[in-house]
Amino acid sequence: MAIDDILLAEPRGFCAGVDRAIEIVERALAKFGAPIYVRHEIVHNTFVVNDLKAKGAIFIEDLADVPPGSTLVFSAHGVSKAVQAEARARGFEVFDATCPLVTKVHVEVAKLAREGYEFIMIGHKGHPEVEGTMGQLSSGIHLVEDVADVARVQPAQERKLAVVTQTTLSVDDAAEIAQAVRQRFPMVREPKHQDICYATQNRQDAVKLMSPEVDIVIVVGSPTSSNSNRLRELAQRLGTESHMVDSADELRPEWFEGKTRVGLTAGASAPEVLVREVIDRLKALGAVSVRTMDGVKETLKFPLPKGLKLDAGAAMASAPAPGAVGLPGAAAPRIDWHAEIERAAARLEGQRERQGAFVRETPLWKLSPEVFGLPATLAASGVEIWLKLEHLQAGGSFKARGMMNRLLAGALPASGVIVASGGNAGIATAAAARALGVPCEVFVPGLSPEAKRERLRALGARVTVAGDAYADALAACLARQRESGALLTHAYDQVEVVAGAGTLGREIEAQGGLPDSVLVSVGGGGLVGGLAAWFAGRSRVVALEPERAPTLFRAREAGMPVDVEVGGIAADSLGARRIGALSWDIVQQHLHEALLLDDAAIRAAQSWLWRELKLAVEPAAALPLAALQTGAYVPRPGEKICLIVCGANVDPATLG
């Protein structure tokens, strides 16, 4: 046996919906006494179900098995309208533990059905969530389990057709089926926000990051758990051997022969105690160290139904500690971002002393508002406009800070560094790799401009074109990384990358003191996350996005990161479809506001910077000025406002 390391996925285990469902049963038992009847397994986990059985819960499938006058709980998966009606008719005291994200789908189905819509549901036949959602209607909802099923669907009409999704599916599989639906039914209505829940998305994202780092992935989850099965399948699809276990007793020593790194995660219905038992068993098999990967810290908590809420004092006593994840009261480590940014600054300064400047100290201009064509009254009131000229950074953007920090954070393999990027992250990674004398391979989507590919080649990078979209390039990049062992960098969602971006805030403060406000554009969120982490409420951080790429704006609306369609000027320089998990965690605490700007305003500001100041910048760098020139952001008297001019990777010929 040769196991050296166990890498724990973050996040893993219980989600907010599972926590709520279990708490509902436990509160009902405490308030009404045993037995409490639960329709279907409250969540799909053997340990949880057996634990609640021992406390007095009785799990049933047929309401005829529930004695009159009993207390009944609906499971987290939801139930059909028929089951709800039968429970009312039988006079049960009912508490609904349906996950609020499943309820959201039910509400959407009911609303659109009243408007005359039929539905295509993407999901697994026989799963209780699917039965519950389809059971919201008596007809007009069609189940598809794969792409082949889409061809067989025969709706009564296509003019009003909508698609909904089981919340625990594979994100990639659901996207493939949804694409097939769109191709066959171009007018199909899709949800404003994807139905796959935040917990499913977060756990799958963690497995995507973890799989290239390990030799085998173990998923803790029961066979009936859809989201646990999807985690195992995802790791397998990414080329990593994977097994799912209900408990540590199911681990088989032969799985680990010749394996040195074990990845460990858990489905959203698996308690942390089972993960700890697996760790103990792996240690008995020879594992030496355990470390937790960087990832989003989930803080969402859903309210309990009326009749089961504690009074205020009891609620305070039972609340999980800040940063708790999974089981209530289980402490979860949080990232000390100030310390990470200071470490990043030390690495970058050390590299500068050893090898000469790569990451530069860029100029900070302090100018009167009148320079920008703003009202003279602003200058009279003491308003100052600072321009942080980060477009003069190595590689032409702020990305140099994060990418170089990532490369300096540990030993670089002989195979060098690898990244998927169609823009500035690839350029910055290639430039940093050249400065350190290591190989670099950049995977780009087919839609990336040829000019940027040539720029990458000029920096010495090997450029590989994979698929049409960024997701295709990332998948190919992950596969190559497993073969080569190269260091994987992410465009915006790694601790070293966000911390590197945060050194920009540290530099601003050292050059000019604390600004009152910092206006910054958002793509994937690495820059706004780094700045918000550094200023941490000491300065207001205002996020700016194009209307056609509102990743952060939509996340704030939904209360969690969601995928958005990206178009317009953002398709090239601000092309991320989803805010990064690390930055989302930061901005929930430290962001002042988020504003949207239209393409015309951004183009006008970009042209103004070239025409009046001879600053050739990309559209993303012009958003802060556009916010001032359009009045989207109104300065307060005496305010010191820092505009982040973040990148210069643009062809000056396009500026007029």
Question: Smallest Cα–Cα separation from 483: which of 424, 443, 423?
Answer: 443
Question: The pTM is what?
Answer: 0.55
Percent of the chain topping pLDDT 90: 66
Residue 481 pLDDT > 50 = yes
The predicted-structure confidence for 490-506, as pLDDT tens digits, reads as follows 888 888 999 999 999 99
pLDDT band at 350 (very low <50, low <70, confident <90, very high): confident
Q: Which residues contact 347 (CB under 8 A, 6 or more apart)?
A: 404, 405, 408, 409
3-state secondary structure labels for all residues of 109-157: HHHHHHCCCEEEEECCCCCHHHHHHHCCCCCCEEEECCHHHHHHCCCCC
Question: What element of type H or E holds 420?
Answer: strand 417-420
Q: Report the distance separating Cα 154 and Cα 143, nearest Å.
A: 11
Amino acid at 366: K
Q: Could you tell me the end-to-end alpha-carbon distance of the chain, in angstroms, rounded to an integer?
A: 65
In this prediction, residue 573 carries a pLDDT of 47
pLDDT band at 324 (very low <50, low <70, confident <90, very high): very low
Which residues are bridge partners to 641 per DSSP? 385, 517
In this prediction, residue 375 carries a pLDDT of 87
Active site residues: 129
In this prediction, residue 461 carries a pLDDT of 94
pLDDT band at 1 (very low <50, low <70, confident <90, very high): low
The predicted-structure confidence for 248-300, as pLDDT tens digits, reads as follows 999 999 999 999 999 999 999 999 989 999 998 999 888 989 999 988 888 88
Sheet holding 216-220, edge to edge: 241-245, 216-220, 261-266, 5-8, 289-292
Question: What element of type H or E holds 407?
Answer: helix 399-408
pLDDT band at 171 (very low <50, low <70, confident <90, very high): confident
Question: Smallest Cα–Cα separation from 270: which of 230, 314, 222, 308?
Answer: 222
| Cβ count within 10 A of residue 269 | 32
In this prediction, residue 453 carries a pLDDT of 87
Which domains occur in the chain, in start order? 1-97+207-321 (3.40.1010.20), 101-184 (3.40.1010.20), 343-395+496-655 (3.40.50.1100), 398-491 (3.40.50.1100)
